[in-house]
Amino acid sequence: MATDILMPALSPTMEEGKLAKWLKKEGDPVKSGDVLAEIETDKATMEVEAIDEGILAKILIEEGTEGVKVNTPIAIIAGEGEDVAAAAAGGGSKPDAAAPAQSAPTPTMQAEGQASAPAATAKSGDDKANAPAAPAVITNKSPAPVMDEFPPGTEMVTMTVRESLRDAMAEEMRREDSVFVMGEEVAEYQGAYKVTQGLLQEFGARRVVDTPITEHGFAGIAAGAAFTGLRPIVEFMTFNFAMQAIDHIINSAAKTLYMSGGQLGCPIVFRGPNGAAARVGAQHSHDYSAWYSNVPGLKVIAPYTASDAKGLLKAAIRDPNPVIFLENEILYGQSFPVPKLDDFVLPIGKARIHRTGKDVTIVSFSIGMTYALKAAQALADEGIEAEVIDLRTIRPMDTDTIVESVKKTGRCVTVEEGFPQSGIGAEIIARLMADAFDFLDAPVLRVTGKDVPMPYAANLEKLALPNVAEVIQAVKAVCYR
Amino acid sequence: MDAANEAGQAKADSAKGLAQLGTVSGDAPTHAPAPNTPQFTREEDLHAYHEMLLIRRFEEKAGQLYGMGLIGGFCHLYIGQEAVVIGMQMASVEGDQTITGYRDHGHMLACGMDPKGVMAELTGRRGGYSRGKGGSMHMFSKEKQFFGGHGIVGAQVSLGTGLGFADAYKKNGKVSLTYMGDGAANQGQVYESFNMAQLWKLPVVYVIENNRYAMGTSVARASAQTDFSKRGISFGIPGEQVDGMDVRTVREAASRAVEHARSGQGPYILEMQTYRYRGHSMSDPAKYRTKDEVSKMRDEHDPIEMVRKRLIEMHGVPEADLKATDAKVRETVNDAAEFATHDPEPDPSELWTDILLEARA
């Protein structure tokens, strides 16, 4: 019988891709292992091999088509002895059946500040499922820029977080020869997540250094190089792997300035994706924000938007201290407006009020902002105006901005993907107890990842992560609604 | 094995005497003077004598101050191992970097750091190299290119490889002298560092100070391969065993290693066979070895006594001259102790300084 060839998912977080090229044409015989087509994702170009044997009866998606969703039928293969014309006519008409996990298309839910709709990730699908009465399309109700961090009228360009990180590194490397990038697959491979794309070509192998798979060793080498005044950017393929290197991050990089009585600084950036991606299990999903937040001698940054990612990574590279720069794999591909400036640098340690509101303060950072902002939009429709603060920097934490907001709203909810105990939310709550107790009208609540190792099963993973409904519920609880 | 390695092994043969030291606690060391030992000039021996004696007297004083409660926490003395760091320094040039673990006082003095500043750090005073905030295991001097002073066993090996990385990056012709003990040599990151250092041909000389005990565990009880000069073989890093009690053999091997690294051929491993007379730290009773073992080493292989004997017998230096040197060294050490016991503790406000540097404007 005829078989549909479906658009494959080529990475844990891939939602769509470009059908770059067909290597077989209609009528060609196909056997198992033949390369049928090339698919471009934002990370790589991959080949799609046939699994079934037969005749390529019909191509459903022309080559060059962009944004082809995973599980969309892209071609039909007629089985042996089957009527090719009949197969071509009959297949490819059941996209829903081909996508068993989805009974209906995921509606677009665009978080404020994003330039375009984010890819519908497993998590945003979860948001939909759990967010009662969330409208399918939400417009940006936030008044235009809450904070002035670049001159008014600055031209904005749309770029992904991935591109903004790359540009930040490239700009700083052009500026100073002492800046170099080191890590696994950063050079020849162009980055495991393509964040360092093109850097090798521009700066050469001296400054874009592929390492063996030895996090402990190369983190120490980079820290030692930083002691001499070089400014290494160490990419960890994920921060989960940085656990192998945590001794050098904490004991060597963070403490040496103090232990040397101020003589020996360590100007280094440790960066890479942190926290959960999608379906990668407990050892690849840990959010380490709270861990690094605990250590004096470190600065810790976890941006949400591409603009913040760029401005803060540039600041991190220039900073004379060790900076932990926590990125998020799911945010890499999301687009935001970024000011077109020759040298856009943001201050470390300053939170950004992403959306103003008078009824409740929601504090979050990194991908937690997507839950916070979607919840804020939904709450606005119910008459609750939430002020959403993006911490951007975890350490030093901008307590003033949080306290000022809570003085106004009297209520607060924190949102993070990390574990609850001793988490970032716990820290914010402790600070509010000390600095804003008299202004609080309700206990502060936190929305966090659940207190379990990240499970693999899709349904359990959804349960383990926070979601928009939980944020809405927490906000309503602190508002006594 | 490449040519350099073979050469190294050939030289190592000349150090066989100490290489055959017993490796199990209690074995009597059997050291016979190796033939073809390189000779020092009178001036070189005088220099080595003064430098080693300074370390010896400094460490004895530190032990005394520890006993008086003026030095706290951990204090790891270098007594017995002086020839290693002095021989190495005699083969290096200004600007070469030094980094080591926690048994670091000797390395600081060898780098030319002020004994007053080192001793005051031991006593936790504001005039210490780290203004009293580092202690025995954590001192640094950018001026003298001494990069610590590290308390996590083996961490300095990756960091020292990073110093070499920076030298190669800057093409400055400098070499990183990266020290570790026989205990640290079993840490995983040492081999990660060996791999990258050879892969990138970094100018690093790894000095493994094999004093036969990692705290209380003898080499034989902790190491499947007790010949540490072979620890780089799987990476193609040349290595040699060196009589680390004889400053002349140390200097000769060090010259070879430093030249290898400086000329762009990559890292080099020197296993220095040495011995610490004192316990692992001040609080270690050292019951894992016999008193005889220690006294035999002191009597027969003391690095300082050997030089002293040579100065008198071979170079004809009058004993009175050596006594004058002894007195001068004692004075230096006493001055350091005097300073370190009278210098005030850090101002309480220092608690909150040096955590982060101000960003450049």
Tally the domains of chain B.
1
Domain encompassing residue A49: 3-98
pLDDT digits (tens, 9 = 90+) for B282-336: 888 888 999 999 999 999 999 999 999 999 999 999 999 999 999 999 999 999 9
Maximum alpha-carbon separation in chain B: 63
Candidates B241, B242, B150, B233; CA nearest to B194 is: B233
Secondary element (H or E) of residue B239: strand B239-243
Q: Over 50: is that where the pLDDT of A315 sits?
A: yes
pLDDT digits (tens, 9 = 90+) for A194-243: 999 999 999 999 999 999 999 999 999 999 999 999 999 999 999 999 99
pLDDT digits (tens, 9 = 90+) for B17-29: 444 444 434 343 4
Q: Does A247 touch chain B (CB under 8 A)?
A: yes
Contacts of A315 in chain B (CB under 8 A): 359
- Tell me whether residue A149 is one of the annotated catalytic residues: no
Whether residues A226 and A196 share a domain: the answer is yes
**Vertex B283: Cα angle to B280 and B284 (nearest 5):** 45
| Active-site pick, A15, A184, A235, A284 | A284
pLDDT value at residue A41: 82
Please indicate whether, in this complex, the C-beta atoms of B159 and A224 are within 8 angstroms of each other. Answer: yes
- The residue with greater pLDDT, A436 or B13, is A436
Q: Does B100 touch chain A (CB under 8 A)?
A: no
The backbone region for A198, taken as left when phi is positive above 0, alpha when psi lies in -120 to 50, beta otherwise, is left
Residue A455's CATH number: 3.40.50.920
Q: Does B140 touch chain A (CB under 8 A)?
A: yes
Please indicate whether, in this complex, the C-beta atoms of A261 and B163 are within 8 angstroms of each other. Answer: no
Contacts of A206 in chain B (CB under 8 A): 169
Contacts of B118 in chain A (CB under 8 A): none
Candidates B276, B305, B254; CA nearest to B53 is: B305
Q: What's the average model confidence in pLDDT over A273-300?
A: 96
Torsion on CA atoms B134, B136, B141, B146, rounded to nearest 10:
-130
Whether residues A184 and A308 share a domain: the answer is yes
- Tell me whether residue A329 is one of the annotated catalytic residues: no
Whether residues A79 and A130 share a domain: the answer is no
- Measure in Å the smallest separation between the Cα of B52 and chain A Cα atoms: 25
- Nearest chain B Cα to A219, which residue? B158
Q: Is residue A427 part of a domain?
A: yes
Distance CA A133, CA A404 (A): 31
Q: Does B267 touch chain A (CB under 8 A)?
A: no
Q: Is residue A436 part of a domain?
A: yes
Whether residues A218 and A263 share a domain: the answer is yes
**Residue B294, burial from CB neighbour count under 10 angstroms (0-12, 13-18, 19+):** middle
Q: What's the average model confidence in pLDDT over A183-193?
A: 96
Q: In this structure, how many other beta carbons lie within 10 angstroms of the beta carbon of residue A175? A: 13
User: Do A210 and A235 touch, CB atoms closer than 8 A?
Assistant: no
Percent of chain B with pLDDT over 70: 90
Q: How confident is the model at residue B232 (pLDDT cuts 50, 70, 90)?
A: very high
User: Do B137 and B167 touch, CB atoms closer than 8 A?
Assistant: no
Domain encompassing residue B76: 3-15+41-343
Candidate from A223, A259, A320 with C-beta closest to B162: A223
Q: Is residue A437 part of a domain?
A: yes
Contacts of A258 in chain B (CB under 8 A): 133, 354-355
Q: How confident is the model at residue A85 (pLDDT cuts 50, 70, 90)?
A: confident
Q: Does A32 touch chain B (CB under 8 A)?
A: no
Secondary element (H or E) of residue B42: helix B42-67
Q: Is residue B112 part of a domain?
A: yes
Phi then psi for A271, rounded to 5 degrees?
Answer: -135, 165
Q: How confident is the model at residue A120 (pLDDT cuts 50, 70, 90)?
A: very low
Please indicate whether, in this complex, the C-beta atoms of B133 and A219 are within 8 angstroms of each other. Answer: no
CB proximity list for A333: less than 8 A, separation 6 or greater: A13, A42, A118, A119, A160, A161, A162
Cα of first residue to Cα of last residue in chain A, in angstroms, is 57
Q: Does B162 touch chain A (CB under 8 A)?
A: yes
Q: Does B361 touch chain A (CB under 8 A)?
A: no
User: Do A54 and A34 touch, CB atoms closer than 8 A?
Assistant: no
pLDDT value at residue A171: 98
ipTM: 0.87
Q: Over 70: is that where the pLDDT of A174 sits?
A: yes
Provide the 3-class DSSP secondary structure of residue B248.
helix
Q: Is the omega angle on the peptide bond into residue B149 within 30 degrees of 0, that is, cis?
A: yes
Distance CA B288, CA B66 (A): 22
Whether residues A402 and A328 share a domain: the answer is no
Q: How confident is the model at residue A50 (pLDDT cuts 50, 70, 90)?
A: confident
**Residue A319, burial from CB neighbour count under 10 angstroms (0-12, 13-18, 19+):** buried
The backbone region for A95, taken as left when phi is positive above 0, alpha when psi lies in -120 to 50, beta otherwise, is alpha
- Nearest chain B Cα to A296, which residue? B355
Q: Is residue B205 part of a domain?
A: yes
Among the residue ranges A65-79, A286-300, A454-468, B124-138, the one predicted with the least confidence is A65-79
| Mutation to test the A interface, candidates B104, B121, B174, B354, most A Cβ within 10 Å | B354
Please indicate whether, in this complex, the C-beta atoms of B196 and A212 are within 8 angstroms of each other. Answer: yes
Please indicate whether, in this complex, the C-beta atoms of A256 and B148 are within 8 angstroms of each other. Answer: yes
Q: Over 80: is that where the pLDDT of A1 sits?
A: no
User: Do A239 and A192 touch, CB atoms closer than 8 A?
Assistant: no
Q: Is residue B21 part of a domain?
A: no
- Percent of chain A that is helix, strand, coil (3-state, to 5): 30, 20, 45
| Two structure tokens written together for A105 | 């298309």
- DSSP-assigned beta bridge partners for residue B243: B273
Please indicate whether, in this complex, the C-beta atoms of A260 and B166 are within 8 angstroms of each other. Answer: no
- DSSP letter at A196 equals T
**Vertex A315: Cα angle to A311 and A317 (nearest 5):** 120
Q: At what angle do helices A161-175 and A306-318 cross, to 10 degrees?
A: 30
Q: Is residue B301 part of a domain?
A: yes
Q: Is residue A373 part of a domain?
A: yes
Q: Does A294 touch chain B (CB under 8 A)?
A: no
CB proximity list for A423: less than 8 A, separation 6 or greater: A289, A290, A416, A446, A448
What is the rounded average pLDDT for all residues in chain B?
91
Candidate from A214, A251, A320 with C-beta closest to B357: A320
- DSSP letter at A52 equals S
Secondary element (H or E) of residue B295: helix B291-301
pLDDT value at residue A3: 85
Candidates A339, A328, A229, A322; CA nearest to A284 is: A328
pLDDT value at residue A127: 44
Q: Over 60: is that where the pLDDT of A135 sits?
A: no
Residue A256's CATH number: 3.40.50.970
Chain A to chain B Cβ contacts (< 8 Å): 151
Please indicate whether, in this complex, the C-beta atoms of B196 and A206 are within 8 angstroms of each other. Answer: no
Q: Is residue A84 part of a domain?
A: yes
CB proximity list for A212: less than 8 A, separation 6 or greater: A184, A218, B192, B195, B196, B199
Q: Does B130 touch chain A (CB under 8 A)?
A: yes
- Measure in Å the smallest separation between the Cα of A321 and chain B Cα atoms: 6
Residue A93's CATH number: 2.40.50.100
pLDDT value at residue B180: 98
Among the residue ranges A11-25, B70-84, B117-131, the one predicted with the least confidence is A11-25
| Two structure tokens written together for A461 | 């993973």
Distances (CA, A) of B178 to A251, A412, B150, B181, B206: 18, 52, 12, 10, 5
pLDDT digits (tens, 9 = 90+) for B11-63: 444 444 444 444 434 343 444 455 688 999 999 999 999 999 999 999 999 99
Q: Choose the final residue of a domain: A339, A373, A401.
A: A339
Q: Is residue B285 part of a domain?
A: yes
pLDDT value at residue A113: 62
Residue B203's CATH number: 3.40.50.970
Candidates B115, B92, B123; CA nearest to B258 is: B92
Whether residues A210 and A284 share a domain: the answer is yes
Q: Is residue B236 part of a domain?
A: yes
Q: Is residue A104 part of a domain?
A: no
| Mutation to test the A interface, candidates B147, B195, B196, most A Cβ within 10 Å | B196
Q: Over 90: is that where the pLDDT of A316 sits?
A: yes
Which residue shows structure tokens 């010896």?
B56
Q: A335-339 and A323-327: which strand pairing?
A: unpaired
Among the residue ranges A360-364, A429-433, B182-186, B281-285, the one predicted with the least confidence is B281-285
Q: Is residue A150 part of a domain?
A: no
- Nearest chain B Cα to A254, which residue? B355
Q: Is residue B35 part of a domain?
A: no
Distances (CA, A) of A208 to A117, A234, B343: 33, 10, 48
| Mutation to test the A interface, candidates B122, B125, B138, B165, most A Cβ within 10 Å | B165
Among the residue ranges A27-41, A249-263, B12-26, the one predicted with the least confidence is B12-26
- DSSP letter at A41 equals -
Q: Choose the final residue of a domain: A285, A316, A339.
A: A339
Distance CA B316, CA A245 (A): 55
Whether residues A210 and A289 share a domain: the answer is yes
Q: B204-210 and B213-214: which strand pairing?
A: unpaired
Please indicate whether, in this complex, the C-beta atoms of A258 and B188 are within 8 angstroms of each other. Answer: no
Q: Over 70: is that where the pLDDT of B118 sits?
A: yes
Q: Does A203 touch chain B (CB under 8 A)?
A: no
**Residue B316, burial from CB neighbour count under 10 angstroms (0-12, 13-18, 19+):** exposed
Whether residues A220 and A178 share a domain: the answer is yes
**CA Rg value for chain A:** 24
Q: Does B129 touch chain A (CB under 8 A)?
A: yes
Please indicate whether, in this complex, the C-beta atoms of B359 and A296 are within 8 angstroms of each other. Answer: no
Q: What's the average model confidence in pLDDT over A30-44?
A: 85
Candidates A268, A412, A224, A288; CA nearest to B168 is: A224
Percent of chain A with pLDDT over 70: 88
Whether residues A128 and A170 share a domain: the answer is no
Please indicate whether, in this complex, the C-beta atoms of A214 and B196 are within 8 angstroms of each other. Answer: yes
| Active-site pick, A15, A215, A329, A427 | A215
Whether residues A127 and A82 share a domain: the answer is no
Whether residues A333 and A365 share a domain: the answer is no
Q: Does B53 touch chain A (CB under 8 A)?
A: no
Please indicate whether, in this complex, the C-beta atoms of B139 and A260 are within 8 angstroms of each other. Answer: yes
Q: Choose the final residue of a domain: A304, A339, A374.
A: A339
Q: Does A260 touch chain B (CB under 8 A)?
A: yes
Contacts of B128 in chain A (CB under 8 A): 261
Whether residues A70 and A218 share a domain: the answer is no
Candidate from A211, A212, A259 with C-beta closest to B138: A259
Among the residue ranges A74-78, A136-140, A474-478, the one predicted with the least confidence is A136-140
Distance CA A43, CA B253 (A): 50
pLDDT value at residue B361: 59
Provide the 3-class DSSP secondary structure of residue A96.
helix
Tally the domains of chain A.
3
The backbone region for B316, taken as left when phi is positive above 0, alpha when psi lies in -120 to 50, beta otherwise, is left
| Mutation to test the B interface, candidates A221, A249, A397, most B Cβ within 10 Å | A221
Cα atoms found within 13 Å of the Cα of residue A175, Cβ hemisphere only: 14
Distance CA B203, CA B92 (A): 12
Q: Is residue A71 part of a domain?
A: yes
Among the residue ranges A22-26, A445-449, B102-106, the one predicted with the least confidence is A22-26
Q: Does B355 touch chain A (CB under 8 A)?
A: yes
